[in-house]
Structure 1
Amino acid sequence: MSVLCLSFLFLLFLSTPFKAISQDINAERTLLLKLKQQLGNPPSIGSWNSSSPPCTWPEINCTDGSVTEVHLRDKNITVRVPPTICDLKNLTVLDLCDNFIPGEFPILYSCSKLKFLDLSQNYFVGPIPDDIDRLSSLVYLDISGNNFSGNIPPSIGRLPELKALQIYRNQFNGTFPREIGNLTNLEVLEMAYNKFVPMKIPLEFGQMSKLKYLWMRETNLIGEIPESFNNLSSLQHLDLAINNLEGPIPSMMFSLKNLTILYLFHNKLSGGIPETIDALNLIEIDLSVNNLTGSIPEDFGKLQHLGFLNLFANQLTGGIPTGIGRLPALGDFRVFRNRLSGVLPPEFGLHSKLLGFEVSENQFSGQLPENLCAGGVLQGVVAFTNNLSGQIPESLGNCPTLRTVQLHNNKFSGEIPRHLWMAFNLSSLMLTNNSFSGKLPSRVAWNLSRVEISDNKFSGEIPTGIASWSNLVVFKASNNLFSDKIPKEITALSRLDTLLLDGNNFSGELPSEIISWRSLTTLDVSNNKLYGQIPVAIGSLPDLLNLDLSENQFSGQIPPEIGNLTLTSLNLSSNQLVGRIPKQLNNLVYESSFLKNADLCADHPILKLPDCYSELHQPKRLSSKYLAMIVALAIIASTVILILTFFLVQDYKRRKRQEYLATWKLTSFQRLDFTKRNILSNLTDNNLIGSGGSGKVYQIVISHSGESVAVKKIWNSKRVDHKLEKEFLAEVEILSNIRHSNIVKLLCCISSEDSKLLVYEYMENQSLDRWLHGNKRSSVSGTSSIHHAILDWPRRLRIAVGAAQGLCYMHHECLTPIIHRDVKSSNILLDSEFNAKIADFGLAKMLTRHASSQTISAIAGSVGYLAPEYAYTTKVNAKVDVYSFGVVLLELVTGRKANNIDENMSLVEWAWQHFSEDKPIEILDPEVKEPSYLEEMILVYKVGILCTHASPSTRPSMNEVSNILRSCSFPDGHAAKKVGSEFEVAPRLGRDTDAYFSSYKHSKKGSEEDDSMIYVV
């Protein structure tokens, strides 16, 4: 009996803690279910229920049966954090990253054991609490990517266990305390991209001896780098770039044994680079865009792990140490825009896989190193504006990865290596102002888009094979020795934007087939021996801005169609032109455009030309008697002909109309209020409202109330054009399967053997391009609601949001994602309420569900909107649309066109230039710039900058862009400006006549691979 009693007591003793644990788990489950309810019952945590223990829920981790970790990252939470979360007494980890949580810093002081707190990428506002040190157990604190503002409180320095403090990308506009230096256990400090008041780096920061990662890029730092940084013996990554630091680089900084990354670019540092370098583990050094003087230290040649060396835009002198050319890991070498001289080390490329080599705007002499592409990965040689001479190394012609060669403004001579023209990935070849000779090849690299060979000694004729240079956008061949005719095959280059052939010995007539140059903006064939009439087709080039035909022997009249062009510059002087100039050109803007053409005249001339009504220019007129007789005879003859043929013609028309209608097939995608007869009978020139590369567009009224549709006629030829058929099938496939309020609705398709029609909803206010860049002094068709064609800022913002939502739907919400590939302001249409809708899907590409990119056969899109990766890859992803949409955003905030800010600068380059100079207000459109809109306009401008980053992986997604733009409409005005942690932009590094970007893809951990090659836009 006693044994049974003892056993019973033993079992009772064992069951007691299990009951307690069970009670605790039930209590915590109740708390968590209450928390779920307070968070608005988000579907993303639907697994939380009363039938399973919380330790089995995906977002919950437990220790010894008690909840210790709550992970709610990216759960679409939109409400404030309830204080009841701290009723979980053993909570050590709370992760709320990447949600939409509003409000101030949450009240979490009851979470006494909390060690890990991540509030990053939300909509938090206000200051960090002054008593944040009450969370005394914190080891990791991340509040980055929010809208926190004000000062960083000194109490943050009283978190003794803290190892990581991340507060980057907020709206802090006050100060940060020296007490941060008291965090002696801190290993990671990230404060980048905050607009603190101008501050020096506190000396106390040198006390953090365990600090490994310091990121204070663009934090408004001033003064000198403190000598106390010499004590940061554990430091591996130091980034103080894009500030206003000045003075010398501390001599001991290069002695930090563990240092691997050093970014001090875009400051005002002066003096020389320390000569002694003991930090032999350095992988990347960027000291560019400063005021550094002196020479490049010889010790740089000892850095066996160095892969990235940027010293450009300083005042460095002397030569390049030969040891740098022998570094085994060197991939990127950029020292352009200095005062360096001497001969380039000949061993460059022999010992490492060189990726980028940029030495332009110095005083180097001698030859280019022979083996730059020995590693087989070289993407660019940028050495313009030096004193280099000799020939281009033959080895460059065998470099399959080469994308750009920029050797203009040197003393090179000889012929271009034959294989260089054919280098597989070559997209730009810039050789202006040298002494190169030889003839042009018939075939070049498939991707070659820019050829600049002006001011050389090239000779012979332009080969007829130039028709195969199908991706050519810019061709500058001025002031050479070319001769013979300009071949008609050059008119096959439909992507051509700029054509300069002036200052040669061309003869014959200008090809008349130039109607295919739909993208041409600049044509200069002056100072040649061309003759004949000016082709009428020039007047049909829709984008032509600059036309120079001077110093030739053109004769006949000036085609009246040229008067319809919106020309920035026109020069027809020194020819043999006769007759009346187009009335639109009788304008003081063209005062010097017609000099030395003795037989030109104007009606009521404003220019210094004879009056066409003077006796000398007045044609002989028929007498009124003879004129009346001719008119009467013509009327009688016409009447007789009409009477004789009327009945036969009517009968014939009826029969042919019936046969004609029978050949058409209508396929509807919506419920229709019209028939195919309504459409086909109204395809007349009176209803024509536009035309493009793939056909004409008509506005057709389909009801008595005036309701209209837009009809796109794809082709009209018995011979099937397979390219146009491909565009047609692409547009039908896409538009017939998607439904979105910001995408143009396809109503039906009408097709026959030789023609295809797409019928869309009609957009009363036409395209955004017409509103931004049309004649702002006159009214636009269908815009009676306003006095002239100027969009105010609220409408522009609404258009940006709508277009972003349309693209967001295409990229992220379609069952099969879609890349548009031709996003531009002329493909964003506006309805009567100025709602934006994406149109023209002829170039769009469907993506497979699991693919991240898709191979394309040729470059698509429009000049000025093309993402730079088109120049070097046959694979694109949705980021090409993001880039193009960024250009549209820059158009909206500046009112400028996408290209031709001036002769040598695109809108993107111009906008980045002002961004790097921190002068955004200067480029805002003055017609809509008002104080109440400035903050919104600058935000949209910055989003445009982010979208047009040269590196695709650094651009945001359309989902993120849409969220940012929609945040402008939040009730608090401008509070929710959430910018993703990957949105890092670099200063524009353009120079000379063409602008280039160096893209720096350094993620917040510094781990993302750098691909900052210079791209020609």
Structure 2
Amino acid sequence: MISRFFLLFVVFAAGLQVAPGDTNPQDAAALRSLMTQWQNTPPSWGTNDPCSTPWEGISCSNSRVTILTLNSMGIKGTLSSDISQLTQLQSLDLSLNSKLGGPVPPSIGNLKQLTTLILAGCSFTGNIPQELGNLENLYFLALNSNNFTGRIPASLGQLSNLYWFDLGDNQLTGVIPVSSNTSPGLDLLVNTKHFHFNKNQLSGSIPESLFSSKMTLMHLLFDSNQFTGQIPESIGLVTSLEVLRLDRNSLGGTVPSNLTNLVKLNELSLANNQLIGPIPDLTGMSVLNYVDLSNNSFDANQAPNWFSTLESLTTLVLESGGLNGNIPTQMFSFPQIQQVLLSNNAFNGTLDLGKTSSGLQLVDFKNNAISGFKSSPGYNENLILYGNPVCTTQLLNSIYCSLQQELQQPYSTGLGQCNSTSCPFDQSVNPQSCNCAYPYEGLLIFRAPFFRDLSNSSRFQELESNLWTQLKLAPHSVSLLNPFFNSDNYLQVELKLFPPSGMYFTRLDVLKIGFALSNQTLDIPSIFGPYSFIGSPYPFPSGSNSGGSSMSTGVIAGIAIGCVILLVVLVIVGIYAFRQKKRAQRAVEQNKPFASWISKGKESDGAPQLKGARLFSYDELRKSTNNFAETNEIGCGGYGKVYKGFLSSGELVAIKRAQQGSMQGGHEFKTEIELLSRVHHKNLVGLVGFCFEQGEQMLVYEYIPNGTLRESLIGKDGIQLDWPRRLKVALGSARGLAYLHELANPPIIHRDVKSTNILLDENLIAKVADFGLSKLVSDSQKGHISTQVKGTLGYLDPEYYMTQQLTEKSDVYSFGVVMLELIMAKQPIEKGKYIVREVRMALNDKDEEYYGLREMMDPALRSTANLIGFRRFVELAMLCVEESASQRPTMNELVKEFETMLHNAGLNSNSNSTPSSATDFGNTNNAHHPYNEPLPRKDFHSDSFEYTGGFQFASKIEPK
């Protein structure tokens, strides 16, 4: 009977709303087909007519769909080939939907009217369709920040009207295609202003024929690829260039002398290559702001003359450049100069700062041969002379001889009178109104800024003003937070935009903002250079709509009648529900286990807030493991067992099942699944989902076959880690922790970093795991968190233990212990000996090869002829385990150091790289469980613990 009433209501309501369509039937059918492939489409989709209502994100002309924009909507699914039926489509923007993926259908090449195609910040895979070359009207093409593989299609050279061409941050391989008698190539794109191919795996030589004097390129971003060969002289023909980034490749040979033809160039970065010959002569490049030539193999020489002539310079970076002789004084007085970074050279004599510029913020000459120093009366900023003879004579115990000095705090938007306002974790304070609201947020990534000083408030305030003006927001409703230069040398800034009124943006507002940021239509100050934007899906209120359309009288009347019928149906449903109460309660228990979460755990604070993690039922996981059969058991411990499981989708997962006696409290379990579901990084273990039902606590992870770092260090299952792979493991782990500290929002302190919480996948790429003890860092807790001491014996930060004040540097200390494990292959505490104290006592500067640690080292390393970067690695490890947190480096600084070590050794620092053969780094094919560490427990056990006031750990840590 109920089903009949529901059917009557649905048919009646549909009959009221269906009207003669204003949309071309082919377009309407295509849109409805797309909608069946997607989740989280706007509420207006599927109701009425797409053009006459209209549907959000749809614009029409003469009954044909011309614009489809659904950026930042949280769309999930794939792009159907039916998109090709929208033959009058001029603009397609599906960007910033991280769950939208799969291959791009070749039929997209049928959209001959398309001028704008933006698929940035999604998860598209496979090859870039060569059919895109058929889109002869295409003006703007942005496919960056996806997972595209394969080669760049040569057919894209046919896009003669293309202005913007962005393929950055993918996994593209092969050479750059150029034209021949039979095939087009990218050299034909003479009207294109932007070639953004950075952060791929492109290889081979950069073709000489790629560039010509006909080209109008402004930004050429080829950094972070695998290019070899020489820099083509033809680049000097493209006199329109303003940004040239070729850094982080394997380019060799000499730098072309005609580079000085690029008189409009603002930024030049050739760092981290294998360039030889003389340092390039940049004389006459009068507008050059930023120069980085570090880490090449240039001929040893004195500082070139242009050091004293380029008065527009804001930043000069030439580290490890083989420079010697006296230091030119003039460079410190340039009116725009902010930073001079010339470490690891052979400058000698006396450093005379002369009359310094008022904007000079940092001078770094560490590890040179400077024997004297003459100060500047006007300079009170940072000067690093660590590793110079002057530090043992004239400047003994001077702050200038400290390795780390306190830089000015980077700019962040102040809250002014709003400092006392406190908001829920998923909201933020609007600096314009001091009210809590849901901002539209994401990362602005400036890929070639012309400056390094991040404390200049006027510069960032100008950016804020530009953003709120051009996006038509209320003044001061833009917040910029935590700018920093990441490991790719990109300036990364957290952006928050606040609605002009109320707590939420409308969907139409978000679509307009996302399109403006993705389509590069904003006039951002030129000093920030080319940028990209990676936005987060906006948290619209449940059932929200844009509210921008009007409804006809018939529709309103239909809705009113429908509501009456709905009321009748609800009464009947209520009676039925009352009669079936017991059965309904059982259904709730089975299908909505969160309903029982609160009643089962007093400390759980309600159901967890998840971002992408899946809730599994007990029966589903039981079936996936064949009723938890012993044959699927891949690990065990005091907490319970780990099973290999095959989900119904065919996905292979690892299921960590806690036994009754060792289950953690609801709060800890909730913390771990919340944290794991909100962080996504290739060096962090991925959470697929969890189960909290029928008295069970289970976590479902991505399956990682090669176990823990500790197991690999002891040679379990035949895996042998040589020194280069250990460096890569350190780099990968550091990248994961740096993401938690600096990119997670809010930041996260892991609190239990150790070798058994670092897992190795099939390519021995490191992934940080186990977030049960982690802590979020809110804005009010920046600096430190006062909390009970938790951690693992041997890895615990002594300052945290004594003060109970937790900081990111506590993770750094633990990571330093892991670094020592990579050298020694020993546990932190063995036979009553603490690894930090033992290494400290054994260090010997006179041992130029092994730092006095040969006898303590892993025997597998002793026979290695050349341990690249070994001494520097030891120095960094000992800095990490300094007892004072202020003397420890940040994880991001460690990432840069490891990348430099690998690059100097000619090794690829890309964590996606795999060994050249299965024997390079030992056996990688033996599938083994990586989850043999216990879930965190409230009671003490032999590994992790919760401090209760009586446990004497301090005696384990010896003073330096």
The two structures have a TM-score, normalised by structure 1, of: 0.45
Which one has more relative contact order, counting CA pairs under 8 Å at least 6 apart? 2
Give the structure with higher Rg (CA). 1
